[in-house]
């Protein structure tokens, strides 16, 4: 009996489980349709979601509907802007809601959302992108496919973005986690909420808050009928500064009505430390403080399209001090007197008064005061800084996290008065600055051990400029002294504009590696970071340096002008003494794109060939002549390509350009060249060690790793050679040499034939072309020539010369023969035809025999075995 009961119960559970799995498939489309209908009836925007899912297990015995990737895209005038994007929305409802008819509304009991973003924008006309609700009567009176009876809601990992184009206020509340519990079915309820977030606030490109942590645990009294929200019990933290609120916010037709008061619940100076972001403030446990710090304020009035609530925030501290544990010094005599006030309800009438900020470390006192007015239209700033800070004492009194301690004394005595519009338009006549700021004995070491020592730096503030009067520093092997003018200091500080300036730099020695940065410090495989020319910099630098160390090069007497703009460095009239000569440079380097690029013109004058072609990889690839040719070089080189992003050296695979060069006072070390040695062994008529390359001019082009040499001529004694072809950066080559060789250089056989010619005949001999083909590579060349064909051609030419001489001699013999057979008394011109022809034939045979004998004698001269032509 028991087993039967268990089987029945088991069957029921199986049936229930199957039902719970199956039901969602029957109701999924119905729910999806109701949600789509509800959205479309309420909003005028492009709404989409990827999918909807129904589960009876997630919140059993309730049903759970999940929407995935909901997006709400604005229509005009914010066409294409995303108003909201939510990764996941969970709707909790009773299972009975699934069985309601098509025209019956589904009752939602709970909402939970994850990974959402809400983006609120106000354009220049004050129109907001959030107002997408359909306002016609027909929509409001239509049936409601969904109703809300929420008991609990949650937001996980949300971001709220706000931007007002007219006031240029930008606010981002990130990492929002918020939940609320209450019975929204009632017209009045207490909503218990918990919230955490991080807030960033910018106004007109000035940052006022950066990732400030916010926490609020509050019980809100909600009156749904009157849209009134009252703070009952609450505890807020701004970073670690505690605040309490009292009052209410009420939604009215014109906007929101505020009547709020807030204050710090205690007056300890620890409250001030709590404002400082945790990353800078360290742990407040065991910190000893004296004095007070309070924040008291109110906000009362209407927030609408044209007004803000009147408010007053009073921040004060009087004669406070702070001593951190384990630090030897304290900060004394801290005075803060600051107010943020709006007395009219017009946002632009808000003003900020920092009437006094003062503190002392040891005997060094620092004071500041400032006020800011007209905050939204054209902020007016009036400020004074005066005092001394010994940087070595800062880390001894405040827990700044530094790898290496700072040293140095900072002194300031500066007054400034300006308006933001004048800064933006560079109207320097409206900017009133005066005073000086100096830094001496400054020493800093980064995490990689690189040090920067500033012996003296002095900045003078003038009405229109910031004058860098002195900057003397050393780092690594480098020293530098800089003076100059900053033309747009305030535009850079307050408006994110370019930093403009003109500077002069002098140095005894600059080592480029001292200014390179590295990534992943401390690791064995430390790599140099990609160098980047700052986008904000728009400056020129006239530089002189006695010595510049770059890679393996030592450059002397370096001078020229550097212009930095738009992430590009332009070099003008750069000159340096190197390789016993002078190199001039004009060109650009750009780091604007992911891969840095360069475009340069180089001028080389009287540079030593051996040194330059040994130490410069680029020249090695263009002409691998190091160790072979000694002497000087004049050259112009135009080239462009990519740079290695870390070492900023040319990427040889991308080089494109051309070179025009002239060799001066050169000598040739042919024994150092496998190619020249092989060439000399294949062409006996030339001694490669005696080739004269003085004043040789050559032109080459290079692209995609291939060097093309335009044909050029060299002369060796009375031999002319024309050379042209290509080689690769991988040292492979394909060259052709055409020699124009006098016959006398082509061996003993040729010379024996020439010896039988008369001087006049020898002078008529044409030079013989000899061609050589060079392939393989420079260390293992393959050489082929047509020397055998050339010798054959010469022999044919000499034979032809002999034939012509013999024919000439034959004609002379015929004439003699006719003369001999003519009778002295024969005065008639009549000759019997048969007799005349016979005489002619007979004479020709004699000539033929004689010529054959001469030619045979010429060609059958005895030869010396394997005799080669002597090298001249």
Residue 210: CB atoms within 10 Å: 11
What mean pLDDT is predicted for residues 731-758? 80
Q: Give tens-digit pLDDT for 640-675.
A: 999 886 667 788 888 999 999 998 888 888 777 888
How far apart, in whole angstroms, are the C-alpha atoms of residue 480 and residue 475? 9
Task: Return the higher-pLDDT residue of 204 and 610.
Answer: 610
Q: Give tens-digit pLDDT for 366-389.
A: 999 999 999 888 889 999 999 999
Q: Give tens-digit pLDDT for 323-363.
A: 988 889 999 999 999 999 999 999 899 999 999 999 999 88
What mean pLDDT is predicted for residues 133-159? 66
SS percent in the chain: helix, strand, coil, step 5: 25, 50, 25
Task: Return the higher-pLDDT residue of 100 and 501.
Answer: 501
- At 396, the pLDDT band (50, 70, 90 cuts) reads confident
- At 760, the pLDDT band (50, 70, 90 cuts) reads confident
Q: State whether 486 and 594 are in the same domain.
A: no
How far apart, in whole angstroms, are the C-alpha atoms of residue 639 and residue 621? 13
Contact criterion met (CB below 8 Å) for 658 and 699: yes
Q: State whether 657 and 548 are in the same domain.
A: yes
Burial 673-707 (b: 16+ CB within 10 A, else e): bebbebbbeebebbebeebebeebebebebeeeeb
**In this structure, is residue 396 part of a structural domain?**
no
Q: Six-digit token pair at 101? A: 């008819």
Residue 672: CB atoms within 10 Å: 13
How many structural domains comprise the chain?
3
Q: Six-digit token pair at 411? A: 């002194």
What mean pLDDT is predicted for residues 768-780? 89
Strand residue runs (E) in 420-524: 432-445, 451-461, 466-475, 478-486, 499-511, 518-519
Reply yes or no on whether the pLDDT at 583 is more than 90. yes
Q: How many CA atoms lie within 13 A of 220 on its CB side?
A: 21
Q: State whether 151 and 46 are in the same domain.
A: yes
Residue 49: CB atoms within 10 Å: 18
Closest C-alpha among 351, 375, 366, 369 to residue 397? 366
Residue 593: per-residue pLDDT:
86
Q: Which residue is it, tokens 């002597």?
A: 870
Q: State whether 498 and 535 are in the same domain.
A: no
**In this structure, is residue 469 part of a structural domain?**
yes
How far apart, in whole angstroms, are the C-alpha atoms of residue 287 and residue 514? 40
- At 444, the pLDDT band (50, 70, 90 cuts) reads confident
- At 735, the pLDDT band (50, 70, 90 cuts) reads very high
Three-class secondary structure of residue 151 per DSSP = strand
- At 858, the pLDDT band (50, 70, 90 cuts) reads very low
704-711, Cβ contacts within 8 angstroms, sequence gap of 24 or more:
704/653, 704/656, 705/652, 705/653, 705/655, 705/729, 705/730, 707/621, 707/622, 707/623, 709/735
Contact criterion met (CB below 8 Å) for 717 and 872: yes
Task: Return the higher-pLDDT residue of 717 and 139.
Answer: 717
Cα 427 to the chain's mean position, in Å? 32
**In this structure, is residue 300 part of a structural domain?**
no
| Best mean pLDDT range from 105-109, 599-603, 842-846 | 599-603
Q: How many separate helices (H) and strands (E) can be counted in the chain?
A: 14, 39
- At 113, the pLDDT band (50, 70, 90 cuts) reads confident
Task: Return the higher-pLDDT residue of 502 and 821.
Answer: 502
Q: State whether 631 and 557 are in the same domain.
A: yes
Q: Which of 573-577, 699-703, 742-746 has the lowest mean pLDDT?
A: 742-746
Contact criterion met (CB below 8 Å) for 776 and 733: yes
Task: Return the higher-pLDDT residue of 614 and 519.
Answer: 614
Residue 831: per-residue pLDDT:
46
Residue 808: per-residue pLDDT:
66
**In this structure, is residue 250 part of a structural domain?**
no
Q: State whether 540 and 642 are in the same domain.
A: yes
What mean pLDDT is predicted for residues 730-755? 81
Q: State whether 467 and 559 are in the same domain.
A: no
H-helix or E-strand spanning residue 605: strand 597-608
Residue 613: per-residue pLDDT:
86
Residue 298: per-residue pLDDT:
95
Q: Which of 87-96, 141-150, 158-167, 235-244 has the lowest mean pLDDT?
A: 141-150
Q: State whether 584 and 478 are in the same domain.
A: no
Residue 578: per-residue pLDDT:
92
Q: Which residue is it, tokens 């489309």?
A: 29
Q: Which residue is it, tokens 């025009």?
A: 660
132 — phi, psi (to 5°)? -115, 5
Q: Is the dihedral of CA 841, 847, 850, 853 positive or negative?
A: negative
Q: Which of 404-418, 461-475, 819-833 has the lowest mean pLDDT?
A: 819-833
Contact criterion met (CB below 8 Å) for 121 and 80: no
Range of the domain at 51: 23-133+145-166
H-helix or E-strand spanning residue 748: helix 748-755
Last residue of a domain, one of 636, 668, 700: 668
Apex CA 861: angle with CA 855 and CA 866, to 5°? 135
How far apart, in whole angstroms, are the C-alpha atoms of residue 868 and residue 860? 18
**In this structure, is residue 791 part of a structural domain?**
no
- At 465, the pLDDT band (50, 70, 90 cuts) reads confident
Reply yes or no on whether the pLDDT at 857 is more than 50. no
How far apart, in whole angstroms, are the C-alpha atoms of residue 396 and residue 393? 5
Apex CA 333: angle with CA 332 and CA 334, to 5°? 95
Task: Return the higher-pLDDT residue of 372 and 14.
Answer: 372
Q: Is the dihedral of CA 396, 398, 403, 405 positive or negative?
A: negative
Q: How many CA atoms lie within 13 A of 271 on its CB side?
A: 22
Reply yes or no on whether the pLDDT at 311 is more than 90. yes
Q: State whether 539 and 660 are in the same domain.
A: yes
Reply yes or no on whether the pLDDT at 122 is more than 80. yes
Q: State whether 47 and 102 are in the same domain.
A: yes
Task: Return the higher-pLDDT residue of 760 and 566.
Answer: 566
- At 56, the pLDDT band (50, 70, 90 cuts) reads low
Contact criterion met (CB below 8 Å) for 150 and 110: yes
Residue 563: per-residue pLDDT:
92
Residue 136: per-residue pLDDT:
58
What mean pLDDT is predicted for residues 579-585? 93
Last residue of a domain, one of 668, 687, 712: 668
Q: Which residue is it, tokens 């093309």?
A: 708
Residue 4: per-residue pLDDT:
43
The count of residues in the chain is 872
How far apart, in whole angstroms, are the C-alpha atoms of residue 379 and residue 397? 35
SS3 readout for 177-204: EEEEECCCCCCEEEEEEEEEEEEEEEEC
Q: Which of 449-463, 517-531, 586-600, 783-797 has the lowest mean pLDDT?
A: 517-531
Residue 154: per-residue pLDDT:
87
Q: State whether 64 and 126 are in the same domain.
A: yes
What's the chain's average pLDDT?
79
Strand residue runs (E) in 224-330: 228-238, 241-252, 255-263, 288-290, 294-303, 310-323
**In this structure, is residue 464 part of a structural domain?**
yes
| Best mean pLDDT range from 97-101, 133-137, 218-222 | 218-222
Residue 867: per-residue pLDDT:
41
How far apart, in whole angstroms, are the C-alpha atoms of residue 464 and residue 431? 6
Residue 640: per-residue pLDDT:
93
Residue 561: CB atoms within 10 Å: 14
**In this structure, is residue 843 part of a structural domain?**
no
Task: Return the higher-pLDDT residue of 204 and 230.
Answer: 230
Residue 864: per-residue pLDDT:
39
Q: Which of 69-83, 161-175, 737-751 has the lowest mean pLDDT?
A: 737-751
**In this structure, is residue 272 part of a structural domain?**
no
Q: State whether 453 and 539 are in the same domain.
A: no
748-755 vs 787-820: helix axis angle to the nearest 10?
20
DSSP 8-state code for residue 655: -
Three-class secondary structure of residue 857 per DSSP = helix
- CA dihedral (366, 372, 375, 379) in degrees, to 10, reads -100
824 — phi, psi (to 5°)? -60, -30
Residue 859: per-residue pLDDT:
40
What mean pLDDT is predicted for residues 757-761? 72
N- to C-terminal Cα separation, the chain: 127
Residue 415: per-residue pLDDT:
93
How far apart, in whole angstroms, are the C-alpha atoms of residue 410 and residue 436? 11
Residue 836: per-residue pLDDT:
46
Task: Return the higher-pLDDT residue of 459 and 132.
Answer: 459
- At 282, the pLDDT band (50, 70, 90 cuts) reads low
Helix extents (H) in 43-66: none
Q: Give tens-digit pLDDT for 788-845.
A: 887 787 777 777 777 776 666 655 555 555 555 555 555 544 444 444 455 445 544 5
- pTM over cut 0.85: no
């Amino acid at each position: 009996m028991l087993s039967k009961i268990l089987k029945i119960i088991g069957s029921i559970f199986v049936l229930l489980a199957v039902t719970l799995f199956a039901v969602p498939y029957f109701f999924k489309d119905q729910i999806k349709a109701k949600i789509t209908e509800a959205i479309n009836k309420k909003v005028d925007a492009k709404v989409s979601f990827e999918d909807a899912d129904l589960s009876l297990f997630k919140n059993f015995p309730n049903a759970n509907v999940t929407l995935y990737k909901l997006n709400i895209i604005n229509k005009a005038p914010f066409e294409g802007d995303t108003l909201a994007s939510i990764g996941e929305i969970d709707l909790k409802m009773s299972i009975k809601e699934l069985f309601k008819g098509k025209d019956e509304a589904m009752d939602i009991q709970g909402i939970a959302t994850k990974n959402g973003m809400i983006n609120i924008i106000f354009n220049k006309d004050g129109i907001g992108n959030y107002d997408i609700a359909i306002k016609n009567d027909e929509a409001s009176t239509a049936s409601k496919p969904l109703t809300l009876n929420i008991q609990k809601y949650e937001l996980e990992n949300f971001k709220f973005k706000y931007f007002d184009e007219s006031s240029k206020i930008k606010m981002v509340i990130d990492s929002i986690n918020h939940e609320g519990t209450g019975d929204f079915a009632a017209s009045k309820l207490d909503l218990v909420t918990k919230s955490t977030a991080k807030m960033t606030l910018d106004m007109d490109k000035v940052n006022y808050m950066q990732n400030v942590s916010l926490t609020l645990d509050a019980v809100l009294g909600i009156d749904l009928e009157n849209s009134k929200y009252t703070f009952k019990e609450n505890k807020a933290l701004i970073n670690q500064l505690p605040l309490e609120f009292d009052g209410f916010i009420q939604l009215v037709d014109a906007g929101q009505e505020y009547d709020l008061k807030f204050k710090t619940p205690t007056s300890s100076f620890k409250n001030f430390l709590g404002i400082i972001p945790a990353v800078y403030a360290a742990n407040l446990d065991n910190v000893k403080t004296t004095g007070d710090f309070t924040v008291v304020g109110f906000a009362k009035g209407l927030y609408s399209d044209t007004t803000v609530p009147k408010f007053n925030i009073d921040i004060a501290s009087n004669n406070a001090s702070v001593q951190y544990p384990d630090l030897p010094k304290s900060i004394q005599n801290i005075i803060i007197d600051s107010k943020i006030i709006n007395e009219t309800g017009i946002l632009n009438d808000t003003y900020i008064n920092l009437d006094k900020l003062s503190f002392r470390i040891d005997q060094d006192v620092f004071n500041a005061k400032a006020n800011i007015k007209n905050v939204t239209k054209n902020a007016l700033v009036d400020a004074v800084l005066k005092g001394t800070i010994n940087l070595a004492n800062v880390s001894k009194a405040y827990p700044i996290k530094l790898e290496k301690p700072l040293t140095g004394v900072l002194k300031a005595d500066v007054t400034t008065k300006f308006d933001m519009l004048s800064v933006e338009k560079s109207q320097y006549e409206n900017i009133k600055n005066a005073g000086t700021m100096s830094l001496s004995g400054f020493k800093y070491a980064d995490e990689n051990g690189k040090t920067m020592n500033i012996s003296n730096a002095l900045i003078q503030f003038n009405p229109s400029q910031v004058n860098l009067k002195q900057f003397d520093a050393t780092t690594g092997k480098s020293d530098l002294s800089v003076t100059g003018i900053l033309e747009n200091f305030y535009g850079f500080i307050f408006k994110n504009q370019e930093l403009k300036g003109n500077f002069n730099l002098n140095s005894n020695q600059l080592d480029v590696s001292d200014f390179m940065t590295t990534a992943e410090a401390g690791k064995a495989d430390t790599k140099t970071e990609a160098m980047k020319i700052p986008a904000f910099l728009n400056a020129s630098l006239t530089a002189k340096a006695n010595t510049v160390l770059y890679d393996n090069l030592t450059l002397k007497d370096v001078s020229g002008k550097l212009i930095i703009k738009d992430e590009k460095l332009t070099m003008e009239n750069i000159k340096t003494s190197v390789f016993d000569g002078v190199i001039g440079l004009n060109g650009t380097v750009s780091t604007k794109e992911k891969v840095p690029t360069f475009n340069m013109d180089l001028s080389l004058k009287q540079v030593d060939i051996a040194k330059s072609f040994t130490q410069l990889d680029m020249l090695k690839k263009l002409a691998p002549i190091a160790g072979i040719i000694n002497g000087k070089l004049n050259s112009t080189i135009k080239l462009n390509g990519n740079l290695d992003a870390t070492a900023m050296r040319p990427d040889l695979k991308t080089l494109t350009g051309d070179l025009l060069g002239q060799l001066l006072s050169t000598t040739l070390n042919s024994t150092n060249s496998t190619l020249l040695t092989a060439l000399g062994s294949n062409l006996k008529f030339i001694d490669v060690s005696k080739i004269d390359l003085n004043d040789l001019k050559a032109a080459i082009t290079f692209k995609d790793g291939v060097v093309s040499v335009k044909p050029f001529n060299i002369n060796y004694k009375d031999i002319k050679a024309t050379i042209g072809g290509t080689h690769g950066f991988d040292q492979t080559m394909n060259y052709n040499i055409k020699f124009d060789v006098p016959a006398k250089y082509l061996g003993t056989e040729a010379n024996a034939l020439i010896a039988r010619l008369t001087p006049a005949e020898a002078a008529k001999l044409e030079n013989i072309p000899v061609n050589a083909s060079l392939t393989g590579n420079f260390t293992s060349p393959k050489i082929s020539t047509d020397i055998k064909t050339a010798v054959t051609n010469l022999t044919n030419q000499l034979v032809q010369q002999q034939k012509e001489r013999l024919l000439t001699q034959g004609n002379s013999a015929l004439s003699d023969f006719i003369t001999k057979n003519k009778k002295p008394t024969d005065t008639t011109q009549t000759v019997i035809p048969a007799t005349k022809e016979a005489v002619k034939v007979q004479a020709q045979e004699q000539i033929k025999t004689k010529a054959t004998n001469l030619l045979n004698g010429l060609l059958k001269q005895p030869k010396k075995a394997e005799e080669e032509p002597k090298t001249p």
